[in-house]
Structure 1
Amino acid sequence: MTKTDVLKLLKNTNDYISGQMLCEEFGVSRTAIWKVINQLKEDGYEIESVSNKGYKIINSPDIIKDYEIESNKEFSDGFIAKVEYFDEIDSTNNEAKRQGDDYNSEPKLFITESQTGGRGRRGRNWVSPKGSGIWMSLLFKPDIMPSQASMLTIVAAMAVAAAIKDLLPEADCKIKWPNDIVINERKVCGILTEMSAELEYIHYVVIGIGINVNTTEFPDEIKDIAASIYSLTGVKVNRSQLVVVFSKEFKKFYNIFMVKKDLGDLVNDYDKMLINKGREVSTTGAVAIEGKAVGINSLGELIIKTKDGALESVRAGEVSVRGLYSYV
């Protein structure tokens, strides 16, 4: 019997569950049940205890521990099979890679309240304060070629954007190509994909996702572009619920991707989420291109129509794309 087991029963009923029923369900003593209930109360769960009736869950705290996520009744509908939680860690991506070579099971999520060494693209530091965001990494072994793995970043971005919209339908949530999630043109989420591979074989893929959910303060160097879901919408989102909905959305988009192992059948859905679409953009990097963003192709490349009418494709990782006059 675990906290997850007890929580599943409490969450999946609207009535009281007797201590005797819990004892019979798990084959343990009333004392064992009482201990788990008290542990859950200490974690912040509001559980009502009534003589001759039993236990009833009234409210759950905003925590992202494994048992809170795995006890969600929708968890089994998603892509993630197992969650490993840390109070604090250097980086969830690092931990996923440490376990990657020896992990041959179903997709696993590593999640933490705080990172001391979170990283964004190009090695930039990712600020990961405690108690307000989602800092997580998804470890799995897709049956694709290494050259196709970068497209999974776009799949993950679509899943995050769709999950936010599922919980907050009124939010102006979009994707800045290729994988920054923005609300009201302010960045709330970054995604970093890494892998271990040989020439024609992937050992594992790790998709690291950092979401500023209920964050209220940001360092000076990023406060002009960074924001949180809460700061932009005024709504505090339950973080574990967002993780569960992300898992469901990722499964949906991933299954579509795996049919052809490209983004061909996801292009239309992605382009609807793409904030750059129809806007003037410019690239920075080895190649400088200015023009209007048309959308993506089946490889996830951004198609830009230049002033002379030519269509140029831009691959993520080679260049960065910004709006001519703003971040997006």
Structure 2
Amino acid sequence: MGVGMDTRKQLITLLASNKNTYVSGQKLSDELNISRAAIWKHMKALEEDGYKIEAVTRKGYRIVQAPDEMSENTIQWGLETTWLGQHLIFEKTLDSTQITAQKLALDGAVNGTVVVADEQVKGRGRLQREWHSKQNVGIWMSMILRPKIEPYRAPQLTLLTAVAITRMLKNICNLDAKIKWPNDIYIQDKKLAGVLTEMQAEQDQISFVIIGIGINVNHDSKDLPSELQSKATSLKLVTNQSWQRETLIQELWKQIEIVYEIFRNEGFSPIKKEWEQSAYKLGEAIHVTTGKTQWKAELLGIHDDGALLVKDEKGETKRLYSAEIDWKRTVQKNANTYETAENETK
């Protein structure tokens, strides 16, 4: 980031912290250690970016409206986090935010650095599945964390991120979303969002964790591939209204910070409890395939290590780390074969 852009970011931060009042040119000049003329030039540059700025003699400046187009400035305008997203890389188009974040992490990017793209052309989910990341309609991001926890606890970060997403959806959209183990967010039995966690570690120490998040926001039906229209949805399709992505991002990052601090201070137990309160199909029957064996189970919740807890037909509790699960209704065709509505390999 150049000197000019860094100054402009500080300027936006100052104005954002005084949303309802005017900030004098002199105060901005003193805070940023630049001339009043330079302040005026930065204001003009912000107006060219689409900001609507009100300037009143003897009162100062106030931003009254941010541009419609998402950018680094619009995301950080009004951002209330302490560390998450304070270092932000925004690009109109990327192959994958996950790939970019990995490169930045290897180069020493600090904890809380976030990569956001308006569009991904090679977005991916778990098991290298393609993630359709159309421009201007979704949230596509990857955050870099450097947690001081043992590598075996890394799956807990996926689970706490899912909890933060459900909190954001409740607070902003008044929606009660469900979490489908291990990494999907569902509304009305359709996928709305996904979380992808990747880690680099040495022996008993984590170097960094990259958590990718994709959320379908303002997609119309035509924006979703035909093969996914029966399986996926968006906030717009669910609520019949469009949403400002920056508002969702800011609240999400705020909730991730809150949940992450709970995790650091109190451990995983309170996160586990909240996750289970939103668990998809909790207490319901699912069908599990492990190896060549198919069996019916009841979903009980999750273990502290992130494994799925189920009760088999004998009443025994099992931990599932990897299995093929049919989450939807099944029709028994014979003693050993089931016709499944949807299978996903976990």
TM-score w.r.t. the length of structure 1 is: 0.89
Q: 1:70 to 1:115 in 2, by over 3 A?
A: same
- Within the candidate set 162, 170, 173, 1:168 is matched to 173
Residue matched to 2:139: 134
Superposition pairs of residues 184-199 of structure 1, within 5 angstroms: 184-199=188-203
Identity of matched residues, %: 33
> What is the one-letter code of the residue matched to 1:153?
T
Superposition RMSD on alpha carbons, in Å?
A: 2.4
Q: 1:117 to 1:327 in 2, by over 3 A?
A: same
- Do the aligned residues in 1 keep the contact of 2:286 with 2:297 (CA within 8 Å)? yes
- Do the aligned residues in 2 keep the contact of 1:62 with 1:239 (CA within 8 Å)? no
- Tell me whether 1:179 sits opposite 2:159 in the alignment: no
Residue matched to 1:231: 237
- Do the aligned residues in 2 keep the contact of 1:91 with 1:115 (CA within 8 Å)? yes
Question: Post-superposition shift, 1:191?
Answer: 0.9
Question: Post-superposition shift, 1:180?
Answer: 0.6
Question: Post-superposition shift, 1:189?
Answer: 0.6
Q: Take 1:155 and 1:33, find their aligned partners in 2: how far apart are those partners?
A: 41
Segments of structure 1 that go 5 or more residues without pairing to the other structure are: none
Superposition pairs of residues 96-115 of structure 1, within 5 angstroms: 96-103=101-108, 105-115=110-120
Superposition pairs of residues 1-328 of structure 1, within 5 angstroms: 2-11=7-16, 12-76=18-82, 79-103=84-108, 105-169=110-174, 171-216=175-220, 217-259=223-265, 263-284=268-289, 286=291, 288-315=294-321, 317-324=322-329
Question: Post-superposition shift, 1:51?
Answer: 4.6
> What is the one-letter code of the residue matched to 1:181?
I
Question: Post-superposition shift, 1:321?
Answer: 4.9
Q: Take 1:53 and 1:143, find their aligned partners in 2: how far apart are those partners?
A: 47
Bigger relative contact order (CA 8 A; separation at least 6) = 1
- Do the aligned residues in 1 keep the contact of 2:148 with 2:206 (CA within 8 Å)? yes
Q: Take 1:9 and 1:166, find their aligned partners in 2: how far apart are those partners?
A: 26
Question: Post-superposition shift, 1:46?
Answer: 2.1
Q: 1:304 to 1:62 in 2, by over 3 A?
A: farther
Q: Take 1:39 and 1:318, find their aligned partners in 2: how far apart are those partners?
A: 54
Q: Take 1:265 and 1:48, find their aligned partners in 2: how far apart are those partners?
A: 45
1:236 is paired with a residue whose SS is coil
Question: Post-superposition shift, 1:17?
Answer: 3.0
- Do the aligned residues in 2 keep the contact of 1:80 with 1:106 (CA within 8 Å)? no
- Do the aligned residues in 1 keep the contact of 2:169 with 2:176 (CA within 8 Å)? no
Question: Post-superposition shift, 1:16?
Answer: 2.9
1:232 is paired with a residue whose SS is helix
Q: 1:288 to 1:201 in 2, by over 3 A?
A: farther
Q: Take 2:157 and 2:42, find their aligned partners in 1: how far apart are those partners?
A: 39
Q: Deviations over 1:267-319 (max 9, x none)?
A: 2211111121122212345363322212112222222223332222212x544
- Do the aligned residues in 1 keep the contact of 2:152 with 2:305 (CA within 8 Å)? no
Question: Post-superposition shift, 1:260?
Answer: 6.8
Further displaced range: 126-135 or 43-52? 43-52
Question: Post-superposition shift, 1:207?
Answer: 0.6
Q: Take 2:266 and 2:21, find their aligned partners in 1: how far apart are those partners?
A: 46
Q: Take 2:88 and 2:164, find their aligned partners in 1: how far apart are those partners?
A: 18
Q: 1:58 to 1:124 in 2, by over 3 A?
A: same
Say which one has the larger Rg.
2
Aligned length, in residue pairs: 324
TM-score w.r.t. the length of structure 2 is: 0.85
Q: 1:56 to 1:79 in 2, by over 3 A?
A: closer
> What is the one-letter code of the residue matched to 1:210?
G
Q: 1:153 to 1:32 in 2, by over 3 A?
A: same
> What is the one-letter code of the residue matched to 2:201?
A
Could you list the structure 1 runs, at least 4 aligned residues long, displaced by more than 6 angstroms after superposition: none
Q: Deviations over 1:65-114 (max 9, x none)?
A: 333333425122x6444211112111111011112223163321111111
Q: 1:273 to 1:63 in 2, by over 3 A?
A: farther
1:235 is paired with a residue whose SS is coil
2:55 is paired with a residue whose SS is strand
Q: Take 2:269 and 2:21, find their aligned partners in 1: how far apart are those partners?
A: 47
> What is the one-letter code of the residue matched to 2:149?
I
2:227 is paired with a residue whose SS is coil
Q: 1:94 to 1:255 in 2, by over 3 A?
A: same
- Do the aligned residues in 2 keep the contact of 1:177 with 1:276 (CA within 8 Å)? no
1:265 is paired with a residue whose SS is helix
> What is the one-letter code of the residue matched to 2:195?
I
Question: Post-superposition shift, 1:179?
Answer: 1.8
Q: Take 1:7 and 1:50, find their aligned partners in 2: how far apart are those partners?
A: 18
